[in-house]
Chains A and B, each alone.
Chain A
Amino acid sequence: MYSYIVRRLAFGALAVIGVSVVVFVVLRVLPGDPLVAIFGPEGYTKLSDAERARYMADLGLSDPLAVQYLHWVYDIARGNLGHSFFRAESVADMIARRGPLTAEIAFTSVVLSWLVGIPVAVISALRPNSWGDNVARFLSILFLAVPGFWVGMLIVLALLFMFGYRAPLASVSLFDDPWANLQIVIGPAIVLGLGQAAYIARMARSSLMEVIREDYIRTARAKGLNRRVVVSLHALPNALLPVVTLSGVLLGFVLAGSIPVERAFGTPGLGYAMAIAVSERDVFVMQNLVFLYAIVFVVLNIVVDLVSAWLDPRIRLA
């Protein structure tokens, strides 16, 4: 197990380095000019050459690329994540203030996806091709096709029309006012959770259908254990292994999905901040936030691999 952990962590470290290079190449080296991004195409043409050179030097953009890259990595290592062009708040403060809300949304949505997805999968798998199974399968196909942010917009509209209700727009911490906090979190969490539940139900259904055909399940039934015990204690734990892996991967996609969904709900989380940064073409904020999201994604994948290795000796010893 220890050698597996060490190997996995080493690959993870390599991935973080690779990811930082990809982020740097995408946001700094690709042909788009950051000054055009900052000033807009019209503002850019109004600048004189001297002004352009001065801005480039101020922003550290006239150094060689390798120097710029090392400078950026050094800044991150010191915890200096820079400032937005358009707002006074530093990126580090922004993450500290808005990050917890997005993390809360992501976590709640995963819990919801399990609460909805697993029971649906069990019902589907135990009675394949029954009407319950068909409805569940159609719904999961439907939820894979619906863009989450659109569902979010519809929910906001429906609540406004029917109850004149709108979730609070100011950020509230879970500990200060749990009720207001819940009202902010629950909408995006439901939308993102249902999207994941669709994947989870599909995966758990096919995995459970495979497991209940195994010999040890038949043996358990044959020795007289009742069906409920066999399914919940013998079949489910094995069937859920691939679901754990999937859930970790989906959590990464939730972080991405929360960007348009938080925009739709007007949630004051990190995803909304990213939506603003991208629409304002705030290159430096984007660079650090994209890197942060990628690191979270890499770490999640490592955690998932370690958890599934811990649960399944076949992976650990291979």
Chain B
Amino acid sequence: MTTATHDTALAQAHDMRAAEPSLLRRMTRGVRRFARRSWMSAFWGVIAAAIVVIAVAAPAIAPYDPLKSDFRAMTKPPSERHYFGSDQIGRDTLSRVIYGSRASLTVAVGAVVFGTTLGAMWGLACGYFGGRFDIISQRIIEFLQSFPDLILAMAIAMALGAGMGTVIVAIAITRISFGGRVIRAVVLSLKEMSYVEAARGLGASHLRIMAQHILPQCIAPYMILATAHLGVAIIIEASLGFLGVGIPPPTPTWGNMLADSLNAGLIPPWWLVLFPGAAITITVLAFNLLGDGIRDALDPRLRGAV
């Protein structure tokens, strides 16, 4: 290909892009189509978005300071003053549930961004290069997969000591093997495509082939995996908090609140158990169903598979 034809091709591509509707327009159209195809996923997508908004705007929405005790309202059932009741040292449960969404979402997004992404990149390299690197990597991934998620996360969180960062790392490590497996399988089949061979024939470097030709094809499976992992990460985070190796106590997280409720007397007050758990369930449900919708939209062949 000469430089001249290359330039005209580029210019044409540019014109075509200019002729298409604006990015915003395309996005709204995409969202509308998505909503029409699966209204269930769209509905839960709206709920997921609402939860994100609540987490971001927590200080504006929460009626009380989540850390402040009110000694006139200790272990009080839901009332007009405290819609979700208050805990044994008089903190407002509604405010704590609202602030708890921050911890959950931060940890979940952090774990997926680090863990699933790192795993996906590792899988990309494994699938592309193959050979000894791949064999050794597969063994390491197998060792990581020899632990049930929660047990590995527990051990890592305990060893590293409490904190938001350690919880993210602990959950992220359990995500690596899944990202690695799935993306590797995708890359193995892509590698044999003739357009990849063509790129190699043109003298493209490994880095360029991986970044320009293989990576874009991996985005759909990655998105499917990532949304599925958000829900898993939220449940693991809650379990770690419940077991006392999550984010340390004064910070309100849903898992911590459930663990606290066990210390609130011989019989835990029902409102301290019901609301944080319901928050976990609704959040996970929202992300899972949104993820199902994204999966169906991006790759109908995978319907019901993941």
Contacts and interface: CB of A to CB of B under 8 A. Distances in A.
B258 interface: yes
A23 interface: yes
Nearest to B144: A22
Is chain A's interface secondary structure helix, strand, loop, or mixed overall? helix
A150 B158 contact: no
A15 B139 CA distance: 8
Contact of B281 (A19, A147, A281): A147
B119 interface: no
A130 interface: no
A263 B149 contact: no
Contact of A150 (B159, B270, B277, B304): B277
Interface string A236-256: 000000000000000011011
Interface in B234-292: 235, 238-239, 242-245, 258, 261-262, 267-268, 270, 273-274, 276-277, 280-281, 284-285, 288-289, 292
A21 B143 contact: yes
Contacts of B144: 22
Given A141-B289, A263-B243, A278-B243, A257 B150 contact: yes
Is chain B's interface secondary structure helix, strand, loop, or mixed overall? helix
Interface string A144-166: 11110110011001001100000
Interface in A272-292: 274-275, 278-279, 281, 283, 286, 290
Given A141-B285, A202-B304, A297-B148, A260 B268 contact: no
Contacts of A205: 304
B239 A149 contact: yes
Contact of B147 (A19, A27, A263, A286): A19
Given A147-B238, A147-B280, A293 B160 contact: no
B258 A150 contact: yes
A153 B148 contact: no
Interface residues of B, number: 46
Interface stretch (A30-38, A89-97, A180-188, A215-223): A30-38
Contacts of B143: 15, 18-19, 21-22
A294 interface: yes
Contacts of A206: 304-305
Contact of A149 (B156, B158, B258): B258
A15 B146 contact: yes
A298 interface: yes
A145 B154 contact: no
18 contacts: A14-B139, A18-B139, A27-B158, A30-B156, A144-B231, A145-B281, A146-B284, A147-B235, A147-B238, A147-B239, A150-B258, A154-B274, A205-B304, A206-B304, A259-B151, A278-B154, A278-B158, A290-B147
- Listed from nearest, the 7 A-B pairs whose CB atoms lie closest are A256-B148, A150-B277, A18-B143, A279-B244, A145-B284, A256-B150, A145-B285
